[in-house]
Amino acid sequence: FLKGKSAIVTGSTSGIGLAYAKALAGAGASVMINGFGDAAAIETERAGLEALSGAKALYDAADMSKPDQIAAMVARANAELGGPDIVVSNAGIQHVSKIEDFPPEKWDAILAINLSSTFHLMRLAVPHMKAKGWGRIISTASAHSLVASPNKAAYVAAKHGLAGLTKTVALETATFGITVNCISPGYVWTPLVENQIPDTMASRGLTREQVVNDVLLAAQPTKQFVQPDQVAAMMLYLCRDEASAITGANMSIDGGWTAA
């Protein structure tokens, strides 16, 4: 149902973003993927997306902490794919530390990548979407856009900000055929979660097993990690014409976390 449409997915070399890119390509969209990683592995993913969609797939290495690189990526997507009709802002990093030890440069990086990059993508893509009278902007927020956890000051601040940014731009674009939403997963089993286990062990003095069962899944009543495919299915639904009345929403997929 997305044949002829083009999408940018930031942070799509891994985890949730890669699942998003596969879902969009599976529906026929041309896709620009983005993120860091091994060049050969990224090329394999890119070629796989092209085979899946029968449309173009491109890779752009733009660093989401650099506004000029974000602008160049959107311009390239416009020139080589048209649009973008769909922007999925997903790149994100985490740092776990007590507020008094939180490195200011980590704060700046998390705010830039997890929040400001979405502002730049929105301001650059909305004119193309308005011109076409159709657009979808979807960001990966987090349960941490709704509730907090200790030792994640920058991440929680950035994700709360993303939820507010989503609502604001939804109001501004509501009469232009554009919807703007965010998705708020609980703990999804990806490298981002796996990689924060050592820091959480250190900052709370816990074993690996205690971090998984008592910290990560403690908040998730289902006691199951969310799967990347489940998040991608929600993103794809938000791209459908049936979802045209959903805008400014924050869609929780958190195993009941924020119900508690």
Closest separation in Å from C-beta 18 to ligand NAD: 7
Ranges within 131-160 binding ligand NAD (CB under 6 A): 140, 142
Among the listed residues 59, 155, 187, 237, the single catalytic one is 155
Looking up tokens 């939403």, which residue turns up? Answer: 181
Q: Give the total residue count for the chain.
A: 260
Among 6, 34, 151, 220, binds ligand NAD (CB under 6 A): 34
- DSSP calls for 206-257: --HHHIIIIIITTS-TT-SPBPHHHHHHHHHHHHSGGGTT--S-EEEESTTG
Comparing CB distances to ligand NAD, the nearer of 1 and 237 is 237
Q: Which two tokens stand for residue 202?
A: 């250190």
Using CB under 6 A as the criterion, what x/- string covers residues 176-215 for binding ligand NAD?
---------x-xx-xxxx----------------------
Closest separation in Å from C-beta 133 to ligand NAD: 29
Tell me, by CB under 6 A, how many residues bind ligand NAD. 30
Closest separation in Å from C-beta 185 to ligand NAD: 4
Q: How many helices (H) and strands (E) would you count in the chain?
A: 9, 7
Task: With contacts defined by CB under 6 A, name the span among 86-94, 119-127, 207-215, 239-247 that binds ligand NAD.
Answer: 86-94
Residue 97 zone, left/alpha/beta (φ > 0; ψ -120 to 50; rest): beta
Instruction: Tell me the three state secondary structure of residue 136.
Output: strand
Which helix (H) or strand (E) segment holds residue 236: the answer is helix 228-239
Tell me: does residue 161 bind ligand NAD (CB under 6 A): no
Query: Is 155 annotated as catalytic?
Result: yes
Tell me: does residue 92 bind ligand NAD (CB under 6 A): yes
Treating both helix axes as pointing N-terminal to C-terminal, what angle do 153-173 and 104-111 enclose, rounded to 10 degrees? 20
Nearest 5°: phi and psi at 82? Answer: 80, 160
Which helix (H) or strand (E) segment holds residue 256: the answer is none
Residues belonging to the active site: 155
**Contacts with ligand NAD, residue ranges (CB under 6 A):** 10-17, 34-37, 63-65, 90-93, 113-114, 140, 142, 185, 187-188, 190-193
